[in-house]
Amino acid sequence: MRDAAAFEPAVAEVQPVPPRRSTGGLRRSERRAGVLFVIPAVLLYALLLALPIIQTFYYSLTRWNGIDATFIGLANYERLFSDPTFWRVVANNVILLAAIPIAILIPLAVAFLLNEHVSGWRFFRSAYFLPTAISWVVIGIVAVRFFAQRGILNSLLAALGIPVTTDMLASEWTAMVAVAITFIWSVFGTNTIIFITGMATLDRDVYEAARVDGAGGFATFRHITIPLLMRFIQFAFVLTLITGFTALFSLIFVMTTGGPGFGTTTLEFYVYQTAFAQGEFGYAAAVGVVLFVIVFGISLIQLRLLRDRSE
């Protein structure tokens, strides 16, 4: 009879398991390393952005001539909101705000056509992006040559046999229209590239299914392209909004210097006029604070509306 021990399974020698490192300690170490890496960026942000904003808020409460500052509380804001020139300047910004949907819709439609690879789409994509590579000063000089009384616009009208001669930069209303048109043209290339990039990320099977179901080009654009591109539209809107409120100083300075009168003076340009032409830096700081609040508020509202719609 066999020994019963022969039928017992062999038991391998159990090796001791090394103790595991505490995950809590590892996470604390990672957090400390993350904080150390973030600190330089936070300090740079505070130095270059947060500190100037805080200083602007402070100086808006003072009578400041660039050297001496005397605290006067809300007197600058009381004067600002009772100043008819300020409200005229705000109205100019509202006109530019009304131009933003045009600066979004036209590039969106053009990007849709280019995404369909129409004839010559590579050439047109490069040509449309060209204004983005030109500085605001050059764009302003070109606009002056185009809209002036002896400019390109009147030459084109004469060549077409239209007996109309106009100097769009001579009156307040037409000068503001000229600035708005130039603004739309200047952001056209950037917004077109944004939308082309967005359309490149869309699933082509959705478009094929729409064509099978008999959807036309306009229906596809309205019911498929626009909803799927909502995040890109949101980004383009905010970028165009910030450009229209805070990046047109060079363009206006070259085209009209804020005139005729205050016909093309925006809040951004009004800050410059008040500070450096009149020497009222505290009052100019108050205008800058109002500009910051307006842009920040409109951006938050738009982001909230687009977020609710996408959800």
What is the sign, positive or negative, of the torsion defined by CA atoms of 281, 286, 290, 296? positive
DSSP string over 21-37? PPHHHHHHHHHHHHHHH
Sequence letter at residue 233: I
Cα separation of 233 and 235, whole Å? 5
Beta bridge partners of 62: 71
Q: CA-to-CA distance for 292 and 245, rounded, in angstroms?
A: 9
Q: Which of 94, 56, 141, 65 is nearest to 265 (CA)?
A: 94
Give the per-residue pLDDT at 150.
Answer: 82
* Sequence spans of domains, the chain: 84-310
* pLDDT the model gives residue 311: 58
pLDDT at 1: 46
**Maximum CA pair distance of the chain?**
125
Name the CATH superfamily, with its identifier, for domain 84-310.
Answer: MetI-like (1.10.3720.10)
- Helix-, strand-, coil-residue percentages of the chain, each rounded to 5: 75, 0, 25
Cis peptide before 260 (omega within 30 of 0): yes
Average pLDDT across each block of 10 residues of the chain; the chain has 311 residues. List them in order: 49 52 66 84 82 90 89 94 93 90 92 80 77 86 90 85 83 92 92 90 80 76 84 88 89 92 93 91 94 86 68 58
Residue 76 pLDDT: 94
Residue 304 in contact with residue 246, Cβ under 8 Å?
no
User: Residue 205: its pLDDT value, please?
Assistant: 79
Burial classification of residue 99, based on how many CB atoms lie within 10 Å of its CB (0-12 exposed, 13-18 middle, 19 or more buried)? buried
Tell me the whole-structure pTM to 2 decimals: 0.79
Q: How many CA atoms lie within 13 A of 209 on its CB side?
A: 6
